[in-house]
Amino acid sequence: MENKKHESNKNIIWHNQNVTKDKRLTLLNQKPCILWFTGLSGSGKSTIANAVEAELFKRGRKTYLLDGDNVRHGLNKDLGFSESDRIENIRRIGEVSKLFVDSGLIVLTAFISPFKSDRQIAKSLVNYHEFIEIFIDTPLEICEQRDPKGLYKKARDGAIKNFTGISSPYEEPLEPQIHIKTNKNTVQECVDKIIYYLIKFGYIQGNENDYAI
């Protein structure tokens, strides 16, 4: 099987396209990137990513949001939650995000992505400044109190195995580009902090002073 895969790969040759990433960018007036939200279930990834995308949309920026559960309904519906499936889940999301970045979009991804090594793989697929890691840092007790999908209760009852934070580890990012504490800031303040970063580092245009918090 491995050999077969290897043999067929030899006959697959990259085709250069006439319309390049640089050419696309001249039309878009933004610097494409991946806003990679990581954090425990219930930490606020989807809520904040949705609100950031809405703000970018309002500003006429071109975006796409890849959300954990939605991707598992389609592209990754063949994957479960074993360690190897989780790794493959993140790998595919990284590859899809890379294509979207190549197309010029600001991509927002909202996945627990608990393992440093997997986030590192996603990061390695794009240029250095195209990957912005956003740590949605909410203490486990608060995520568990919120429990927006009732999953912590199920995990505590033993109905869900390998649940991050309970029966599976979450490896915190050590040097995220943006560190968000949802127990200290409102959703709007969290959004402002991200928009501020995007303006300050030239991903979008605007007045960063409107957002400094």
Least Å from the CB of residue 67 to ligand ADP: 8
103 given a catalytic annotation? no
Closer CB to ligand ADP, residue 151 or residue 199?
Answer: 151
Residue closest to ligand ADP (Cβ): 44
Active-site residue among 8, 82, 103, 113? 113
Contact 115, 5 (CB under 8 A): no
- Pick from 158, 153, 194: nearest CA to 177: 194
Segment interacting with ligand ADP, rule: CB under 6 A, options 46-54, 72-80, 170-178, 192-200: 46-54
Question: Parallel, antiparallel, or unpaired for β 131-137 and 33-38?
Answer: parallel
CA trace torsion 44, 45, 50, 55 (10° rounding):
90
Stretch that binds ligand ADP, among 85-93, 95-103, 162-170, 179-187 (CB under 6 A): 179-187
Region label for 29, one of left (φ > 0), alpha (ψ between -120 and 50) or beta (otherwise): left
Considering the complex, what minimum distance in angstroms separates the CB of residue 48 from ligand ADP? 5
Task: Tell whether residue 80 is a contact of ligand ADP (CB under 6 A).
Answer: no
Examine residue 47 and tell whether it contacts ligand ADP (CB under 6 A): yes
DSSP string, 107-163: EEEE-----HHHHHHHHHTS-GGGEEEEEEE--HHHHHHH-TTSHHHHHHTTSSSS-
Pick out the residues of the known binding site.
39-46
* Strands lying side by side in the sheet with 106-110: 63-67, 106-110, 33-38, 131-137, 178-181
Binding piece for ligand ADP, criterion CB under 6 A, among 24-32, 41-49, 162-170, 200-208: 41-49
**120 with 23: CB under 8 angstroms?**
no
For residue 72, state whether it binds ligand ADP (rule: CB under 6 A): no
Give me the least distance between CB of 142 and ligand ADP, in Å please.
8
Counting contacts by CB under 6 A, is residue 140 touching ligand ADP? no
Q: Which residues are catalytic?
A: 113
Q: Which residues bind ligand ADP (CB under 6 A)?
A: 39, 41-48, 110, 146, 148, 182, 185-187, 190
